[in-house]
Amino acid sequence: MAALRLVYRNPWNVLLALGAFVAMAVFYLWSSEVLVIGGHGVSILVHTQYIAAALVMALSFGLLLPLLVCAIRLAAASVAHSGGTALGAVFGTLSMTCCAPVVLPAILSFLGFSGTSILSVNETLNRFWLPLATISIILLTYALVSVVQSLNLQCSLEESSPDVESADRTGGKSAVRELASHR
């Protein structure tokens, strides 16, 4: 929790989290056609399950992003953290499909798939939207918890180090100073 407190003490990180949350929520709701932008304007189809899943995934992503950025600056982020976040976002996008998905069809048609085979993929994705959304939430939660742990460990190591400068050798001088200045 110390890492969360330290990272979110910076108002820019709060702003980054908020921006990421809003952007991902809008993207997920748009790609699942809950948020419809058409000739008649903008409307929202109340699909409670989709809206709940999109908000949970967007919230996890928004919360995670500033922590991941901080961990990368401190060189405390591993491939699992970044990969888990990216995969979580991808599974989230795959789960949020309805009747005219936007991301996958573009890729599939670029690869030469026919309209009916893309429709079959769309329908399968839509059928398994709940497991896909669950995988996404699990991956994002895993990345979130492990990034917080890594940052906590980094903080405790730095506290026990003779001086802060020695931690600079691991990279991210400014981030270390930023964390140190909050102590």
Partner 1 sequence: MRNTTSDARVTNQRKRDKQSRKLRQQELQRENELARQTARRKRFGLRIGGGVLAAVAMAIALFLALRGNATGVSENAVAASLGAPTSDIPSPPIGAFNHVGTLLHQGGKPKLLFIGAQYCPHCAGQRWAIVKALDQFGTFSNVTSSANDDGTIPTFNLHDASYTSKYVAFIHKDTEDRSHQPLDSLSSDQQAIFSQLDPSAGIPLITVGGYTLLGDGYDLSLIQGKAFNVVQHAMQRGTRSDPLVSAINGEANSITAFICHADKMQPQMVCSRPVIRSIVSHLQ
Where along the sequence are the contacts to partner 1 (CB under 8 A)?
33, 36, 38-41, 43-47, 98-101, 105-106, 109, 114-116, 118-119, 122-123, 126-131, 133-135, 137-138, 141-142, 145-146, 149, 152-153, 156-157, 160-162
Q: What is the DSSP letter of 169?
A: T
For the chain, the residue count is 183
Residue closer to partner 1 (CB basis): 161 or 174: 161
Q: Is 86 or 153 the residue whose CB approaches partner 1 more closely?
A: 153
C-beta atoms surrounding 36 within 10 Å: 14
CB of 149 to partner 1, least distance (A): 6
- Shorter beta-carbon distance to partner 1: residue 109 or 174: 109
CA distance 16 to 136: 21
* Closest distance of CB 156 from partner 1, Å: 5
Minimal distance in Å, beta carbon 175 to partner 1? 19
Contact 36/43 with Cβ under 8 angstroms?
yes
CA-based max dimension of the chain: 65
Q: Token pair 């896909």 is at which residue?
A: 132
